[in-house]
Amino acid sequence: MNNHILSRRTMLRGLGCSMALPWMESAVVWGDTPNGNEPSSEAPIRMAILFSGCGYHTNEWWAKGQGAEMELGKVLKPLEPHKDKLNFIKGLYNAEALKGNIHSSQTGNLLSGAPLASGGKIISGTSIDQMVAQKIGHRTKVSSLVLGCEKANPSVHKDYSMLYSSHISWSSPTTPTPLEVYPALAFDQLFKDSSQQGDQSVLDAILADAKDFRRKISRRDQQKLDEYLNSVREVETRIEQAGKRGELQGFKPTLTEPNMARPTDGYPQDIVEHMRLMSDILVLAFQTDTTRVCTLKLNNDHGTLRFPHLGVDYMIHHLLSHTDSEDWLKVNQFFLEQVAYIAKRMDSIQEGERTLLDNSMLMLCSSMMSGHHNANELPVVMLGNAGGRIQTGQNLNYMDNENRQMCRLFMSMMNKMDVKVDSFGDATESLAEI
C-alpha cells in the first residue's frame, strides 16, 4: 500500500471502519492532481473481468452490424440498451488451452495464455488482472477484488487439477488468487479495517464523520453522497437479512459469534441474490475508487450450480451446457442479465462529463465457445470505453487473422490501465482496434 497516495484521500472514518467516497465536483476526494483550476480530480480507469463457465448457446451467441444498428443474438439480448458502449469480439483464442481439451486445461490459463502443468501439479501464469494489480494496486485501499459465486473445487479431473476450473485469477504461476465467495466478507474488504473488525454497522460507525463532510460540499455533491450512502446501507441490510436467514451470502463471523460455522455445502441458497450482491459490491468498489481491478466469476467452469428460479433445477450447469436447449439459453441470459445490471448501475453514476461505465472497461468471457469444449475461438464482449481510450460500437472478427491471440487483447487492456509490457503470454503486440 502506498501510504502517501492514500493519505491524500478523503475518507469517512469510524471505529474499525474507513469508507472511501465517490467522485465529487466540489472536492478532491481521491488525492489525484486537479485538472487546471477545477476542484475535482480526474476519474481513473477501472477494469473488470467477468466470467461464466462452459461457454454459451451454440446458435445464439452472435452480433451483426455496427454501432446503433448492431443486432445481437438471443444470449446477448440483455445488453441491447448498451450497444453504443459495447464491443463484440470474435475469433480470439488461447493456443495453450487447446492442448488438454477439457475444462480445467482451458480455464486455468484463460487470463494468462501460459502453459499449464498436468498430473495434478499447479503451474499456470500470472493473470492479466493481477499483473495490473501488482503495478497500480498501491494507489487504492484494495489492490484487487477477486469475487466468485461458487466455491473452489480442489479435486483432479483427467490429470488436471480442478483448481484450474475454479480460478481464473493467478497472482503467480503457482498461486491462484484467493476467491471470495461470501458477499459479507467482500463487503468488509471495502469498508472494514483489517486490524479492527467489529459488529457495528458501517454506516452507523461513520455517521458523525459523514455529517461533518456533508456541510463542506456542494448541493449536487450532497445528493451524490446521500445516494451513495443509501446504496451502502441497502447492500449492508440485504447481507444482514441473509445472515439472519442462515444463507451463504450473509455468512460472517462476528464478535458475538466468532466461530460461526460456514454453510456446509458452500453453495448459495439464493443464487439470484448472491450474484446481485456481488455485482453491487463490484460497483461500490469502483464508484469509490477502493479498487481499480476486479474479477467476478459468476460460476466455475465445470460448475455445479442449479437455477430453480428459472425452472431449471433438474440438471447442474455443466451438464446443461452440453444440451444447447431452451433451458440452457435461459441460463445464458440470466448470466448476461448480471452483466447488464452492472453496466446499467455504472452508467448511472456520473463522474464529471463521463459516467463510471465510460471510465471503465468490462470484459465478459468464457473459456470455450460452448459446452462442447470448442476453444478455437472464445466468446468476448466488452463494455465501456476506458475514459475515451476505446472506441465502442464495434463488431470485430479476427477469425481470418494470423495473429488472433487472446493475449493481444490483454496487452491492449493493460495499455489502457497504463501498464506497459513488451509481451504477455503468447502475444508480442496489442490489438490496434482496442
Stretch among 24-28, 98-102, 393-397 having the lowest mean pLDDT: 98-102
- What b/e string do you get for 392-417 counting C-beta neighbours within 10 Å, with b at 16 or more? bbbbbebeeeeebbbbbbbbbbbbbb
91 and 153 in a single domain? The answer is yes
227 and 126 in a single domain? The answer is no
Name the residue type at position 262.
R
95 and 214 in a single domain? The answer is no
Residue 256: pLDDT over 90 = no
Give residue 65's domain range: 44-181+292-397
- Domain-ending residue, one of 250, 265, 280: 265
Tens digit of pLDDT for each residue in 305-363?
889 999 998 888 888 988 899 999 999 999 999 999 999 999 999 999 999 999 999 99
9 and 88 in a single domain? The answer is no
> Which three cell numbers mark 144?
484487487
pLDDT (average), residues 265-277: 79
* Cα–Cα distance for residue pair 36/122, rounded to 1 Å: 50
Domains contained in the chain, number: 2
Question: With pLDDT > 90 as the criterion, what percentage of the chain qualifies?
Answer: 62
CB 127 within 8 A of CB 139: no
CB 169 within 8 A of CB 156: no
> Which three cell numbers mark 113?
495464455
318 domain residue, yes or no: yes
User: Can you give the pTM of this predicted structure?
Assistant: 0.92
373 domain residue, yes or no: yes
Q: Which domain CATH number covers 147?
A: 3.40.720
304 and 255 in a single domain? The answer is no
pLDDT band at 12; cut points 50, 70, 90: very high
Residue recorded with cell 460448475: 303
7 domain residue, yes or no: yes
49 and 169 in a single domain? The answer is yes
pLDDT band at 37; cut points 50, 70, 90: very low
236 and 161 in a single domain? The answer is no
> Among 160, 161, 166, 128, which Cα is nearest to 148's?
166
148 and 216 in a single domain? The answer is no
Residue 47: pLDDT over 90 = yes
pLDDT for 157 equals: 56
Sign of CA dihedral 170, 171, 173, 178: negative
360 domain residue, yes or no: yes
pLDDT (average), residues 138-159: 82
416 domain residue, yes or no: no
pLDDT band at 252; cut points 50, 70, 90: low
240 and 152 in a single domain? The answer is no
pLDDT for 398 equals: 98
Partnered with residue 125 across adjacent β-strands are: none
> Which three cell numbers mark 193?
479495517
pLDDT for 195 equals: 53
Sign of CA dihedral 138, 390, 414, 184: positive
Across the chain, mean pLDDT equals 87
CB 114 within 8 A of CB 425: yes
> Which three cell numbers mark 52?
461464466
276 domain residue, yes or no: no
Residue 40: pLDDT over 60 = no
- How would you classify residue 91: left for phi > 0, otherwise alpha for psi between -120 and 50, otherwise beta? left
281 domain residue, yes or no: no
343 and 389 in a single domain? The answer is yes
- Which of 144-148, 252-256, 297-301, 319-323 is predicted most confidently? 144-148
pLDDT (average), residues 295-301: 92
37 domain residue, yes or no: yes
61 and 159 in a single domain? The answer is yes
pLDDT band at 21; cut points 50, 70, 90: very high
CB 280 within 8 A of CB 288: no
Question: With pLDDT > 70 as the criterion, what percentage of the chain qualifies?
Answer: 87
63 and 174 in a single domain? The answer is yes
Helix, strand, coil percent content, the chain, rounded in steps of 5: 35, 15, 50
